[in-house]
C-alpha cells in the first residue's frame, strides 16, 4: 500500500510548487533577458547572408497570397459575407491575409517544436541552460514575423479601403489564445520530439491538414450546418475570426468563444510547461 504525502511535508510542498501555475510565469520572467536576446538573434539570422534579406519575409506570404486568391476567389469563386455576388479579389486577398497571419504563427511554432531540443545538443549538456526557453524563443520569432505581416495588411487596407479599423486596440487580446496554444504545444512537442524522432513528419502532415479544417480560405458559413460544430471545436477557428474582426471588420472579438478558448489554452500552456520540466531530466540520456 502506498503512503500518502503529508500536506505539511517538504515533499508535498515541492510537488505543489512544481504544479503551481505561478511558477511558469516566474521562471519566464527570470529568463526574460535571455529570451529577448535569443529571439532578436534568431530574427536577425533568419535571412542573414541572402541577397534579398528581410524581403523574403514579405515575398513568401505575398506569393502565397496571390496564388490562394487566384485559386479560391477567381477559379472557385469563394464568397465572403451574405452577398451572392463574387467577392472582389482585392477584398478577398485582405480577408485571406488576415487569416493567414495567425495560422502561420501556429504552423511555424508547431512544426519547429519537435526539433528544437534536438538541434542544440550542446545546450542540453549545459546544466545551467534553461531549455524551456527554446519554444518561447520560437514563438517570439513567429510573433515578430506576424507583426510585420500585420503592418503589410494595414498598408493594404489604407490603399484599398482608405481607412483603418478602430478595433485594432483589441489586437493584443486576439493574440492571447494563439500565444497560449502555441506555447503549450511547443513545450509538449519539443519534449516528445527528443524521445520520438518520427513526431516531426507526423506533425507537419497534421498541420497541413489542419489548414483546410480552419476557415482561412473560406468562411464558416460555407461549411454545412451539420458539420459546422466540428469546425468550432478547432481553437484556431476562433483565433482566425478574432483577427479578422479586429483587423478588418470594425467588430469586437467573439467574447464568449474567446474567453473560453483563452482559459483552455492557458491551461494547455501550463500543462505543456509542467510536462517539459518533468521530462527534460532524461534529455541528456537520449542525446
Note the pTM of the prediction, 2 decimals.
0.87
Q: What per-residue confidence (pLDDT) applies to 23? A: 76
Q: At residue 13, does pLDDT exceed 60?
A: no
Q: In this predicted structure, which of 18-32, 74-88, 180-194 has the lowest mean pLDDT?
A: 74-88
Max CA separation in the chain (angstroms): 73
- For residue 48, the tally of other CB atoms under 10 A from its CB is 10
Residues 95-109, mean pLDDT to the nearest whole number:
93
Quote the pLDDT of residue 76: 67
Residues 53-63 have pLDDT tens digits of: 566 667 777 77
Angle (CA) 235-237-238 rounded to 5° is 75
Judged against a pLDDT cut of 70, whether residue 36 lies above it is answered with: yes
Identify the pLDDT of residue 284: 84
- φ/ψ of residue 64, rounded to 5: -60, -40
* CA 56/CA 59 separation, integer angstroms: 5
Q: Mean of the pLDDT values across residues 181-196?
A: 96
Give the model's pLDDT for residue 82: 55
Q: How confident is the model at residue 51 (pLDDT cuts 50, 70, 90)?
A: low
Question: What is the C-alpha separation between 85 and 83, in angstroms, rounded?
Answer: 5
Q: What is the residue-wise DSSP string for 10-58? A: HHHHHHHHHT-HHHHHHHHHHTHHHHHHHHHHHHHHHTTTSSSGGGHHH
* C-alpha span between 100 and 217 (Å, rounded): 9
pLDDT digits (tens, 9 = 90+) for 214-271: 999 888 888 888 889 999 999 999 999 999 999 998 888 989 999 999 999 999 999 9
| Backbone φ, ψ for residue 9 (5° rounding) | -75, 155
* Mean pLDDT for all residues in the chain: 85
Q: Lowest mean pLDDT of 61-65, 92-96, 221-225, 276-280, name the range.
A: 61-65
**Better-predicted residue by pLDDT, 273 or 15:** 273
Q: Which range scores top for mean pLDDT: 12-16, 129-133, 184-188, 252-256?
A: 184-188
Q: Are 149 and 97 in contact (CB under 8 A)?
A: yes
Query: Using an 8 Å Cβ cutoff, are 102 and 178 in contact?
Result: yes
**Are 174 and 253 a contacting pair, CB within 8 Å?**
yes
Encode pLDDT of 125-145 as tens digits. Answer: 776 789 999 999 999 999 998
pLDDT tops 50 at residue 12:
no
In this structure, how many other beta carbons lie within 10 angstroms of the beta carbon of residue 162?
7
Amino acid at each position: 500500500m502506498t503512503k500518502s504525502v503529508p500536506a505539511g511535508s517538504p515533499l508535498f510542498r515541492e510537488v505543489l510548487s512544481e504544479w503551481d501555475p505561478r511558477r511558469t510565469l516566474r521562471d519566464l520572467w527570470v529568463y526574460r533577458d535571455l529570451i529577448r536576446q535569443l529571439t532578436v538573434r534568431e530574427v536577425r539570422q533568419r535571412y542573414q547572408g541572402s541577397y534579398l534579406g528581410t524581403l523574403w519575409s514579405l515575398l513568401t506570404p505575398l506569393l502565397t497570397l496571390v496564388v490562394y486568391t487566384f485559386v479560391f476567389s477567381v477559379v472557385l469563386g469563394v464568397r465572403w459575407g451574405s452577398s451572392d455576388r463574387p467577392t472582389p479579389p482585392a477584398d478577398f486577398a485582405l480577408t485571406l491575409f488576415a487569416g493567414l497571419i495567425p495560422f502561420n504563427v501556429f504552423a511555424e511554432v508547431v512544426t519547429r517544436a519537435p526539433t528544437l531540443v534536438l538541434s542544440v545538443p550542446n545546450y542540453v549538456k549545459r546544466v545551467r541552460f534553461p531549455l524551456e526557453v527554446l519554444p518561447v524563443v520560437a514563438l517570439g520569432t513567429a510573433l515578430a514575423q506576424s507583426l510585420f505581416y500585420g503592418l503589410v495588411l494595414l498598408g493594404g487596407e489604407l490603399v484599398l479601403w482608405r481607412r483603418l479599423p478602430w478595433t485594432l486596440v483589441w489586437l493584443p487580446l486576439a493574440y492571447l489564445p494563439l500565444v497560449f496554444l502555441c506555447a503549450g504545444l511547443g513545450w509538449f512537442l519539443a519534449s516528445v520530439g527528443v524521445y520520438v524522432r518520427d513526431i516531426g513528419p507526423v506533425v507537419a502532415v497534421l498541420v497541413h491538414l489542419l489548414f483546410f479544417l480552419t476557415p482561412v480560405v473560406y468562411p464558416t458559413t460555407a461549411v454545412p450546418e451539420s458539420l459546422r460544430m466540428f469546425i468550432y471545436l478547432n481553437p484556431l477557428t476562433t483565433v482566425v475570426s478574432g483577427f479578422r474582426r479586429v483587423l478588418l471588420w470594425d467588430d469586437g472579438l467573439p467574447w464568449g468563444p474567446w474567453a473560453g478558448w483563452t482559459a483552455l489554452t492557458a491551461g494547455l500552456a501550463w500543462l505543456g510547461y509542467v510536462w517539459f520540466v518533468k521530462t527534460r531530466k532524461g534529455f541528456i540520456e537520449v542525446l
